[in-house]
Amino acid sequence: MAKDNLLVGLDVGSTKVAATCGEIVEGMINVTGFVKVPNNGVRKGVVTDIEDTVSAISDALEKLERTCGTRISSAIVGISGSHISTSISKGVVAVARADGEIGRSDVERVLAAARTVALPPNREIIHVIPRTYTVDGQQSIVDPVGMTGIRLEVEALVISGATAAIRNLTKCVYQAGLEIQGLVFSPIACAHRMISKKQKEIGSMLLDLGGGTTSLAVYEEGDILHAAVIPVGSSHITNDLAIGLRTSIEMAEKIKIKYGSAIPDKVRESEIISLSQFAQGENQRIERKYVSEIIQARLGEIFALINQELKKIGKEGMLPAGVILTGGGSKLEDLVEAAKEELRLPAAIGVRNIDMGGFVDKLADPVYAASVGLMLYALEESKGNFSSFSLEGGVIGKAKSFFKQFLP
């Protein structure tokens, strides 16, 4: 039997499937299991092979069930990929109550109105995230519930994705035998875990350096301002190394992880890497500085694309609370310093911002950032603190009332 108070975060990434599970105890998550298995069915954040992806999810699920000792029947699933795009939508409604007091239902109606944005038939909404409300012309209201007025307006950020990409992902999850409690754009889940309210207020960016993608979510004045997924990630660095050093991909990956640096100037001219340590019969010797130069070239491209996204919203070099880095790619040596230089912003590796119990130290690995973030996001959603809609007819809404019984 699956436990009732169980939350599972499922991150189907371009290099791995990561899943974490935890129990809601007194309104907090106690993490009871985490797993990571390689995945070959996703490219650049999008499912390209259903069979491989289903098999990776099933494998992860089986291992997770074994570690946490309970059956798992549903999960909160992260979605990413360069098909994701954002737009601004507005909604207007008349306040329902005769005395003009704005209630939760008015807010839900105005968000539903913002949701009726015209999208091409091949796209679907993933989130409608309220940015600011206006009550009878008074702008910049954060939470209108309890206020009095006649006309309620909202400006919301709509995050949408390609129908085919969304369907292929959900199909894989269903085929692996899981119900989907909610579909959440991964960087938002990571940001929820790693960026404090204050940092979101001042201006900050979550940057997830994954294998096949680099995704970002920008916050200011407490609201999400922009989000994007760039189809270039750390695997591209590995591929460049394989070509530049004439080695296999596996060897290039090992070299990147053990000897890679994001800044060639930090590497001494004399440092030589002997490849014999990685494979028998291999006698090639390479300069570590050259490895770093190859890495720097690809990172330069990634940072330029990030700056382009920031430029679109007038925030290039303009986020005082800086960049919070996560994802496996962020573990590269000297990456934080390179990010500071290239983005002209403060930068740091993301740490948890919300208290949890259980295997907390193990989950500090940025590879689990999204799956843990998904659990925390769902918990917050269940407390009614978010009002973003999720796909599949507001599945999170159903989860909300379900989890409520476990909250203090």
Ligand X SMILES: Nc1ncnc2c1ncn2[C@@H]1O[C@H](COP(=O)(O)OP(=O)(O)OP(=O)(O)O)[C@@H](O)[C@H]1O
The only residue of 22, 182, 264, 327 in contact with ligand X, by rule CB under 6 A: 327
- Tokens 């954040």: give the residue: 45
Residue 332 binding partner per list Mg ion, ligand X, none, with a CB distance cut-off of 5 to 8 Å that depends on partner kind: ligand X
Give the nearer residue to Mg ion in terms of CB position, either 17 or 21: 17
CA–CA separation, 136 and 151 (whole Å): 5
Stretch that binds ligand X, among 99-107, 162-170, 207-215, 354-362 (CB under 6 A): 207-215
- Name beta bridge partners: 287: 272
Q: In residues, how long is the chain? A: 408
Which of Mg ion, ligand X, none does residue 109 bind (CB under 5 to 8 Å by kind)? none
Backbone dihedral angles phi then psi of residue 343, each to the nearest 5 degrees: -95, -5
Residue 361 burial (CB count, 10 A)? 7
Pairwise CA distance, residues 289 & 299, whole Å:
15
Q: In the bound complex, what is the minimum distance in angstroms from residue 327's beta carbon to ligand X?
A: 4
Among 6, 7, 10, 15, binds ligand X (CB under 6 A): 15
Picking from 1, 16, 20, the residue whose alpha carbon sits closest to that of residue 356 is: 20
SS (H, E, C) 229-293: EECCCHHHHHHHHHHHHCCCHHHHHHHHHHHCECCHHHCCCCCEEEHHHCCCCCCCEEEHHHHHH
Among 182, 260, 264, 358, which residue sits at the site for ligand X (rule: CB under 6 A)?
260
How far apart (Å, rounded) are the C-alpha atoms in residues 135 and 183?
Answer: 30
Site for ligand X in 28-47 (CB under 6 A): 45
Tell which residue, 356, 371, 374, has the closest CA to residue 17. 371
Beta-bridge partners for 34: 20
Shortest reach from residue 89's CB to ligand X, in Å: 27
Give residues 203-242 in contact with Mg ion (rule: CB under 5 A).
Answer: 210
Our CB check for ligand X shows the closer of 153 and 253 to be: 253
Span from 14-22, 68-76, 135-143, 354-362 in contact with ligand X (CB under 6 A): 14-22
Which residue of 8, 9, 10, 13 would you call a contact of ligand X, by CB under 6 A?
A: 13
x-marked contacts with Mg ion along 79-118 as a string, rule CB under 5 A: ----------------------------------------
| Cα–Cα distance, 221 to 203 (Å, whole number) | 7
Does position 16 interact with ligand X (CB under 6 A)? The reply is yes
Among 106, 253, 334, 342, binds ligand X (CB under 6 A): 253
Is the Cβ–Cβ distance between 207 and 218 less than 8 Å? no
What minimum distance in Å lies between the beta carbon of 132 and ligand X? 30
Q: Which does 234 bind (CB under 5 to 8 A by kind): Mg ion, ligand X, none?
A: ligand X
Residue 233 within binding range of ligand X, rule CB under 6 A: yes
Site string for ligand X, 61-100 (x = CB under 6 A): -------------------x--------------------
Give the burial class of 255: count Cβ atoms within 10 A of its Cβ; 0-12 exposed, 13-18 middle, 19 or more buried. Answer: buried
Q: Residue 369 Cβ, how far from Mg ion at the closest point, in Å?
A: 8
Contact footprint for ligand X (CB under 6 A): 13-16, 45, 80, 210-213, 233-235, 238, 253, 256-257, 260, 327-329, 331-332, 367
